[in-house]
């Protein structure tokens, strides 16, 4: 799986470079962001399949890491266009990871639908199967390498203006897209298997998990803009798709998933104006992404793994719950004024 982030970032930087000389107001800056949360992949069946098996698998990762990046924005009266690129820069420690194989019973539950618009119900959990019993369990550490490109637009109403250095309050509509490529490496694994005799031993490298995630957002919020600071809240539901490659090193087998999902993102943004052209921001972000799809196997060493290559596919759930705290600094450029000074 090849990340598309580098190509998108180059195009984004080129567009901002061109439009910055056309539009009157443009800002550029840098940011650092600390993330937390969880990522969970699950597959299984509560009711017996053709083999009479009721069970499944779960791979979970924590999302504790730091991103660094740059951003730019263009302001034109009531319109705002904003983009950014963020990256871990290297393989960072993401916390703990776990790979479970479990059996399900009659009292076990499967709740794959997290946002149920038909019944107006919401289940804020990244886990799908509950009431399970593990017959295999691997626990270890994980690293993550993530690259992210974001692109958003807003239109402001009332007295609010797109330029955050200007005073004015009001509602706004917002929308945009985010592309993320991230890869987990699961290592220093201690493996338990409920066999006869019981197996428990370190096995070293467990798996690698690559992700290619697109998300599209729509929504709105409200901004209060004062003389020295502004505060705005933005809430955006989302739809998206994710493709993953789960490579189990010990078994030499790939599991390739293709999922579609929905979710939401909220942001509380506090900006303080240091001067007429410098600003610092503190942003609190929350995101959910709940997806369902299918995966296929490729490769393998055992007869059962090789036979699974010829199956039509297996159900997969990929759910993400994360949050972040972001600190940013931005400088405002007024290119119309610069051009007038040159005349």
In this structure, are residues 288 and 262 in contact, taking their beta carbons and an 8 Å threshold?
Answer: no
Q: How far apart are the C-alpha atoms of 135 and 70, rounded to whole Å?
A: 46
User: 330 vs 47, 204, 277, CA distance in Å?
Assistant: 55, 44, 8
Q: pLDDT tens digits, residue range 13-28?
A: 555 554 544 556 899 9
DSSP 63-105: --EEEEEEEEEEEETTEEEEEEEEE--S-EEEEEEEEEEEEEE
Return the H-helix or E-strand segment holding 305. helix 303-308
Is the predicted pLDDT of residue 310 greater than 90, yes or no?
no
Q: pTM of the full predicted structure? A: 0.88
Is the predicted pLDDT of residue 339 greater than 50, yes or no?
no
Q: How far apart are the C-alpha atoms of 188 and 174, rounded to whole Å?
A: 43
In this structure, are residues 62 and 93 in contact, taking their beta carbons and an 8 Å threshold?
Answer: no
Looking at residue 10, its pLDDT comes to: 57
User: CA-based angle 72:321:240, to the nearest 5?
Assistant: 65
Return the H-helix or E-strand segment holding 7. helix 5-19
Burial class (CB in 10 A: 0-12, 13-18, 19+), 73: buried
Residue showing tokens 């790979």: 99
* SS3 (DSSP) at 10: helix
Q: How far apart are the C-alpha atoms of 246 and 206, rounded to whole Å?
A: 11
User: pLDDT class for 49, splitting at 50, 70, 90?
Assistant: low
Q: How far apart are the C-alpha atoms of 59 and 99, rounded to whole Å?
A: 5
Is the predicted pLDDT of residue 338 greater than 50, yes or no?
no
Q: pLDDT tens digits, residue range 83-92?
A: 999 999 999 9
More reliable by pLDDT, 328 or 122? 328
Q: pLDDT tens digits, residue range 151-207?
A: 999 999 999 999 999 999 999 999 999 999 999 999 999 999 998 899 899 999 999
């Amino acid at each position: 799986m090849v990340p598309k982030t580098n190509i998108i970032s180059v195009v984004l930087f080129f567009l901002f470079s061109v439009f910055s000389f056309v539009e009157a107001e443009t800002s550029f800056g840098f940011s650092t962001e600390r993330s937390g949360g969880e990522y969970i992949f699950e597959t299984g069946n509560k009711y017996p399949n053709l083999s009479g098996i009721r069970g499944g698998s779960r791979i979970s990762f924590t999302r504790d890491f730091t991103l660094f990046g740059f951003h730019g924005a263009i302001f034109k009266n009531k319109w705002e266009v904003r983009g950014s690129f963020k990256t871990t820069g290297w393989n960072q420690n993401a916390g703990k990871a776990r790979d479970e194989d479990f059996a399900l019973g009659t009292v076990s539950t499967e709740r794959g639908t997290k946002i149920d618009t038909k019944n107006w119900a919401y289940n804020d959990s990244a886990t799908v199967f509950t009431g399970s019993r593990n017959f295999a369990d691997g626990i270890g550490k994980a690293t993550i390498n993530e690259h992210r490109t974001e692109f958003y637009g807003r239109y402001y109403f009332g007295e609010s203006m797109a330029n955050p250095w200007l005073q004015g309050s009001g509602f706004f509509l917002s929308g945009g897209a985010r592309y993320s490529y991230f890869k987990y490496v699961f290592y220093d694994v201690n493996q338990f298997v409920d066999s006869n005799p019981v197996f428990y031993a370190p096995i070293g490298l467990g798996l690698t998990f690559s992700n290619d995630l697109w998300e599209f957002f729509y929504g709105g919020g409200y901004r209060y803009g004062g003389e020295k600071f502004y505060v705005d809240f933005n809430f955006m539901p989302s739809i998206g798709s994710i493709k993953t490659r789960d490579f189990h090193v010990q078994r030499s087998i790939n599991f390739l998933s293709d999922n579609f999902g929905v979710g939401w993102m909220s942001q509380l943004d506090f900006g303080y104006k240091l001067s007429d052209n410098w600003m610092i921001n503190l942003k609190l972000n929350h995101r959910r992404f709940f997806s369902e799809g299918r995966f296929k196997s490729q490769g393998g060493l055992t007869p059962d793994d090789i036979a699974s290559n010829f199956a039509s596919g297996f159900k997969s759930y990929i759910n993400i719950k994360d949050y972040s705290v972001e600190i940013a600094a931005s400088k405002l450029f007024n290119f119309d004024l610069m051009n007038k000074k040159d005349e």
